[in-house]
Amino acid sequence: MSQKTATPPRDGFSSRFGLIAAAAGSAVGLGNIWKFPYIVGENGGSAFILIYLISILCVGLPVLLAEFIVGRRGGANAVRSFKKLAPNTKWPIIGWLGIIAAFMILGFYTVIAGYTIHYFILSITNAFSGMTSEQITQTFNQFSSGYAPIIYTIIFILLSVIVLFGGIKNGIEKYTKVLMPGLVGIIILLVIRAVTLPGAGEGLQFLFKPDFSQLSMSAILDALGHSFFSLSVGMGTMLTYGSYISKKENLASVSCSIAIADTMIALLAGVAIFPAVFAFGIDPTAGPGLVFITLPNVFLQMPGGNIFGALFFLLLFIAALTSVVSIFEVIITYVTEELNVNRRKALLLTTLAVIVISIVCSLSQTPNTFLSFNGHSLFDWMDLLSANVLLPIGGLLIMLFLGFVMKKDEVADELSQGSKSIKTTMVYLTITKFIAPLAIAIVFLTGIQALFH
């Protein structure tokens, strides 16, 4: 019997829970547990949180929905989806920018992700026991400016490859369905430990009692920028996941669930961290070192602290892993579809490239490095350029594409799975055409300005 070589059906998420676990897994990452608490600390607490919530609602969420709409309608990688929806135009550039951003974010993100493995080991082996506060700081400074992070970064990348190997349904979905409930369980345990510490009330007040006198213009911009990074939007990640979503799913409700999950976990991370920081009289405005310097001090003073410390770094590890695989997927889906190679080969090529970029990023943190320009290391540049420039530009262009280029019928169809709801579509299109682009343009212009000062 002659056998026709039919193309196999495209991979995809097999259940709603799997889709939400994977997409929320992408959104919930180092941004929620490492960055959110320290920017809240630096910007005076709860007034900042309020601005952040408004940014998520008015900008982050509409961009997330836009990416899902373009991805599902296009049914392909970030570049090809635009090619299909707007043939012979320059719009596929959005996809290209996304791929560049993916390499840049992976470059620095996997380095910090590697730290979590080292800190997990330090905590579980009780290595901080007996250390003074200065010694804990020294441990971090010596580690982060040395060569050891390279090893942990490579280990982390190889662990991501295990998740990515099976594809969407049998890889990303399969693992995130287990990892995400695990993450929620750990954070709840840590929250219970933190709020039952004597003196925890002060930390909760810092988080939940707004003090608007602390709110500066730069805090507002930080909040808006962070809402992009935190929801993983502006670079085609959610667009790529969107291309694997079945036609049955209601994209608006899935997007809301993800935004709620992401915000809840960021807030819970704050509740797990600040009461403990205040209970032990430690400065809450410690900046990026909050997690790796301040928290080991906190755990050291806590009964059973090494176990809670290990749990915390495990939490950070899981959060980073489920985000890193989503960024990888932008590149892998592109390479498989455009270079016409199988997933295994695409994974190998992408992994090698990411390992090289991450090593260079990590080396830029060592003393006397030549990988530093204009007062920032290459590592910082990757972070600044992706979060302050590429993500806002990507988000802005996606909104403009959806608002002005894509056919209104197609948007309505994707929004309502066929039964066209004109009112929702009109409200959504007004946000996409005017409100969100304006807000993003402001963040972008200010972000650029900050880079060159």
- For ligand PFF, the binding residues (CB under 6 A) are 26-27, 29-32, 105, 229-230, 232, 235, 237, 323, 326-327
Minimum distance, C-beta of residue 230 to ligand PFF, in the bound complex (Å): 4
The tokens describing 216, both together, are 């500066």
In the complex with ligand PFF, the residue whose CB is nearer, 323 or 425, is 323
∠241-244-245 over CA atoms, to 5°? Answer: 95
CA dihedral 315, 321, 323, 328 (to 10 degrees): 180
In the complex with ligand PFF, the residue whose CB is nearer, 171 or 305, is 171
How many other CB atoms sit within 10 Å of the CB of residue 159? 16
Minimum distance, C-beta of residue 29 to ligand PFF, in the bound complex (Å): 2
Asked whether the CA dihedral 293, 298, 303, 309 is positive or negative, the reply is negative
In the complex with ligand PFF, the residue whose CB is nearer, 300 or 315, is 315
Residue 372, classed as helix, strand or coil, is strand
Minimum distance, C-beta of residue 32 to ligand PFF, in the bound complex (Å): 5
In the complex with ligand PFF, the residue whose CB is nearer, 27 or 286, is 27
In the complex with ligand PFF, the residue whose CB is nearer, 51 or 136, is 51
Give 348's contacts (C-beta < 8 A, 6+ positions apart).
none
User: Please, are residues 51 and 215 in contact by the beta-carbon 8 Å criterion?
Assistant: yes
Closest by alpha carbon to 75, among 420, 413, 429, 333?
333
CA distances for 243 relative to 21, 66, 321, angstroms: 16, 12, 21
Minimum distance, C-beta of residue 229 to ligand PFF, in the bound complex (Å): 5
The tokens describing 339, both together, are 């270079």
CA distance 52 to 60: 10
Minimum distance, C-beta of residue 233 to ligand PFF, in the bound complex (Å): 7
Closest by alpha carbon to 285, among 294, 298, 276, 275?
294
Minimum distance, C-beta of residue 437 to ligand PFF, in the bound complex (Å): 20
In the complex with ligand PFF, the residue whose CB is nearer, 271 or 318, is 318
Minimum distance, C-beta of residue 203 to ligand PFF, in the bound complex (Å): 22
In the complex with ligand PFF, the residue whose CB is nearer, 380 or 413, is 380
